[in-house]
Amino acid sequence: MKPLVTALVDTFNHERYIEQALVSVLEQGLSPSELEIVVVDDGSADRTPEIIQKFLPRVKYLRKRNGGQASAFNAAFPEVSGQIVALLDGDDWWAKGKLTTVIDDLEQNPGISAVSHAYYQFYEETNELKVCGPSETILMNLATPEAARAACHGWVYLAMGALTVRRKVLEQVMPIPEVLVFSADSTIAVASMAMGVRVLPQPLSYYRFHSNNLYAMSSEDLAKLQRRYEMDDVMCSLLWPMLLRLGVPSECVSALIDPVWFWVHREQLRTFGGSRFKTFRTEMRGFRSTYKNPSLGYRLFKYLVMAPATLVLPPRRFYELRDWYAQRNLGRFRDWLGRTDVEAHDRPPDHLVK
C-alpha cells in the first residue's frame, strides 16, 4: 500500500532547527504505513546531515549538491509516493494534530486541491508569536478577477509548513524551473489557488523568522534584498505561463500577478535606482492594471503629470517625491479629477512582507 500522506521536508544548513522539524512530523501520531517522510537536503555544509542520520530509517533521506529550492523539490518528487503531500521547511515545525486535521478536511472536500491553515509567526530574536490566518475558513480560487485579487492578499496563508496538496498539484508544476533558487514553493501555492484551496482558521504550524530567513533580513542588507527582488521578479514571469496553461483566464492571472510585479519593480527602483524608462513602464503598467475605467480627468493627470515626471526624474528622486506627496495626503486634490476606486497596488501583497 502507498502511504496515505507524504511529509516533504526541504532543508539547507538548518542544523539548529531540523531536529525540531522532524520531531514535529513524527509526533503527528501516524504510523509508517500512513505517513511517509521524505527529507531533501540541498547540499548543507553544516551538521544538518549528521542530525538527519539520527532519524533513519524512519525518514527517506535525499542529499544533493546545492542548487536551490526548485532543484530540491525536483529531486524529491520522484521519491514521493503519497497521494497527499504536506510541505515543511527544515527551519519550521508543525503543531500536534496538524496532519489529521488537514487530511480530514481533504477527505470531506473532494473537489478541492489543497488545504492550508493559519500559522504562528515565531520571531526567534524576541520569542514573539503572532498568528497569521483568516478568522474563518475561506476558499481561494482564481475563477474571477475579484477572486484572484482576494487570493493575492490571501497568498500569505499558503506558506510552507501550512500548505498540504493533493499529488495532482505537484504533477501539474513539476519540474519547477531551477532558476527559482528561492520562492519555488510559490509555484505550488499558486497552482493550488488555480485548482481551489481551503484555508482553515486554526493555527497548526510555526513559521520561524531568523537571521538567515529571506523574509526576515534587515533592509540594510542590500545584497540579499536585491536577490529577493530578483527572485520575485523571475517568479512573476514564470507564474504567468503556468497559470495560462492551467486554464486560468488572462484577466484573472493579471489580477493575481500584477500587484506583485508592480510592487517588486517599484521597490527595486526605489532602493537601487535604474532607468527612467523602467520607471515609466512600471508606473504605466500599474496604472492600467489597477484602473480599468478611470475618469478622463484622472487619465489626463496620469499621462500629463505623472508619466512625464517618471521620464524627467531619476527613479530614486521620483519615488522620494511620490512618498512626500503621499505622506501629506496631497492625493485628495488629485481625487477631484474623478478617481472613484482605490489604488490597490499602493499596498504590497501581504505575502511579500511577512
Task: For 65-111, write each residue's pLDDT tens digit.
Answer: 999 999 999 999 999 999 999 999 999 999 999 999 999 999 999 99
Query: In angstroms, rounded to a whole number, what is the distance separating the alpha carbons of residues 233 and 210?
Result: 24
Please say if the pLDDT value at position 202 is more than 90: yes
Q: Looking at residue 59, what is its pLDDT?
A: 97
Please say if the pLDDT value at position 177 is more than 60: yes
- Grid coordinates representing 321 are 517625491
Q: Looking at residue 340, what is its pLDDT?
A: 47
298: closest CA among 343, 330, 337? 337
Starting at the edge strand found earlier in the chain, the sheet holding 197-200 runs 60-63, 35-41, 5-11, 84-89, 164-166, 114-117, 197-200, 138-140
292 Cβ neighbours under 8 A, 6+ residues apart: none
Please say if the pLDDT value at position 140 is more than 60: yes
Please say if the pLDDT value at position 264 is more than 70: yes
Please say if the pLDDT value at position 168 is more than 60: yes
Q: Looking at residue 220, what is its pLDDT?
A: 64
How far are the Cα atoms of 85, 171, 199 from residue 166, in angstroms, in the given order? 6, 9, 14
112-119 average pLDDT score = 98
| DSSP structure class, residue 247 | T
Give the mean pLDDT of the chain.
89
Please say if the pLDDT value at position 348 is more than 60: no
How far are the Cα atoms of 73, 170, 247, 259, 347 from residue 210, in angstroms, in the given order? 23, 28, 38, 27, 25
pTM score, whole prediction: 0.87
Name all domains of the chain by residue range, CATH numbers in brackets.
Answer: 5-209 (3.90.550.10), 235-342 (no CATH)
Q: Looking at residue 214, what is its pLDDT?
A: 60
* Cis bond before residue 175 (omega within 30° of 0): yes
The amino acid at 207? Y
